[in-house]
Amino acid sequence: MNHICSVATVQFAPVFDEIAQNFQQIESLIRDLDDDIVILPELCTTGYSFLNSKEVEGLALTANEFADFLGDYSVKNNNVIIAGFAEKDEDRFYNSTIALMPDKSYIVYRKTHLFYKEKYCFSYGDTGFFVFNHPNRNCRIGMMICYDWRFPESARTLALKGADIITCSANLVTPYWETGMKSRALENNVYVAVSNRYGSESRLLPDGTMQTLTFTGKSAIYDNHGITLQQAAINGDSIIRAAIDTNISRNKSFDELDDIFNDRRPTFYMNE
Ligand code: ACM
């Protein structure tokens, strides 16, 4: 199978509490994208600024429902679509991404590290970090979501499990992530693709004050050295794309003596 894999990230500005409108926007953006991997932002069906789990309950979808919606595009374009959504599973809610395959099967990652008021709204993810094979390309994919980037263990786990590319569906609100994502790529010799949203959301809080979150756009695809291959602007709908070569991500040595995985000394690392 081909070691070259085309990747696209889709940046847009979901509107909080407007599922129908967000679905329409997602459809219009992904309808004709035939890149091998298409990545959408975190919580792209609902917007971000939930205040409590009651609000999530009204907008969450089961993975099946979300797969039904996205499934036809994966089939039509013969690709893997990764997208963030508020997931309902019985009486629990998760901040999740779905990875949908062209045969309509799917796999779900549930966010491990919950950020800010997500802690009031979602259950902590119980899937852990895992890697799966692209069905048509010789490419292994690992997913993380937004704040997971702050924990190098997330990317390290995915890389040790064999990821060639780490996808990060995001609603990023601080400016520091670019440094972090580049480092995650470099220290693991993997590609990293960040699909971020832009725009802002304001919510009136029970105490009468206004909460405004501004999202930082600049979706990016980084190579195995952390070099930026493509990057979107801070604002605006944008699709960026790059080709990745998994022969490169699988070769962890950078000269005849040094190999960043073989040279690890786990005996001396913390085992919490
Ligand atoms: C974040 O995890 N949405 C910052």
Percent of the chain residues topping a pLDDT of 90:
97
CATH assignment of 4-268, given 2.40.50.140, 3.30.2420.10, 3.40.50.2000, 3.60.110.10?
A: 3.60.110.10
CB 95 within 8 A of CB 43: yes
Cβ–ligand 1 contact at 213 (below 6 Å): no
Q: How far is the CA of 111 from the centre of ligand 1 (A)?
A: 10
Cβ–ligand 1 contact at 171 (below 6 Å): yes
- Per residue in 40-67, is it b (16+ CB within 10 Å) or e — as a string? bbbbbbbbbbbeeeebbeebbbebeebb
**Ligand 1 atom closest to the CA of 111, numbered from 1:** 2
Cβ neighbours around 24 below 10 Å, total? 11
Q: What is the pLDDT of residues 84-111, one digit of tens each?
A: 999 999 999 999 999 999 999 999 999 9
71, 115, 120, 255 from 242: Cα distances, Å = 23, 29, 37, 26
Question: 138, 61, 149, 151: which is closest to 106 by C-alpha?
Answer: 61
Residue 271 pLDDT > 90: no
Q: How confident is the model at residue 70 (pLDDT cuts 50, 70, 90)?
A: confident
187 has catalytic annotation: no
**How far from each other are the two terminal CA atoms of the chain, in whole angstroms?**
39
Q: Which of 16-25, 65-74, 156-165, 193-202 shows the lowest mean pLDDT across its residues?
A: 65-74
Q: How far apart are CA 95 and CA 2, in angstroms?
A: 32
Q: How confident is the model at residue 21 (pLDDT cuts 50, 70, 90)?
A: very high
Q: How far apart are CA 39 and CA 44, in angstroms?
A: 11
Q: How far is the CA of 138 from the centre of ligand 1 (A)?
A: 30
Cβ–ligand 1 contact at 173 (below 6 Å): yes
Residue bearing the CA closest to ligand 1, atom 2: 147
Q: What single DSSP character describes residue 193?
A: E
- State the Cα angle at 6 between 81 and 68, rounded to 5°: 15
Mean pLDDT value across residues 78-85: 98
Q: How far is the CA of 72 from the centre of ligand 1 (A)?
A: 29
Question: 111, 41, 13, 32: which is closest to 72 by C-alpha?
Answer: 32
Q: How far is the CA of 199 from the centre of ligand 1 (A)?
A: 14
pTM of the model as a whole: 0.97
Cβ–ligand 1 contact at 215 (below 6 Å): no
What's residue 71's pLDDT? 75
111 has catalytic annotation: yes
What's residue 69's pLDDT? 87
Of the candidates 5, 121, 146, 168, the residue annotated as catalytic is: 146
Q: How far apart are CA 187 and CA 94, in angstroms?
A: 29
For the chain, give me the number of helices (H) and strands (E)? Answer: 7, 14
For the chain, what are the domain ranges? 4-268
Residue 272 pLDDT > 80: no
Cβ–ligand 1 contact at 146 (below 6 Å): yes
Q: How far is the CA of 221 from the centre of ligand 1 (A)?
A: 18
Cβ–ligand 1 contact at 157 (below 6 Å): no
**Ligand 1 atom closest to the CA of 148, numbered from 1:** 2
139 has catalytic annotation: no
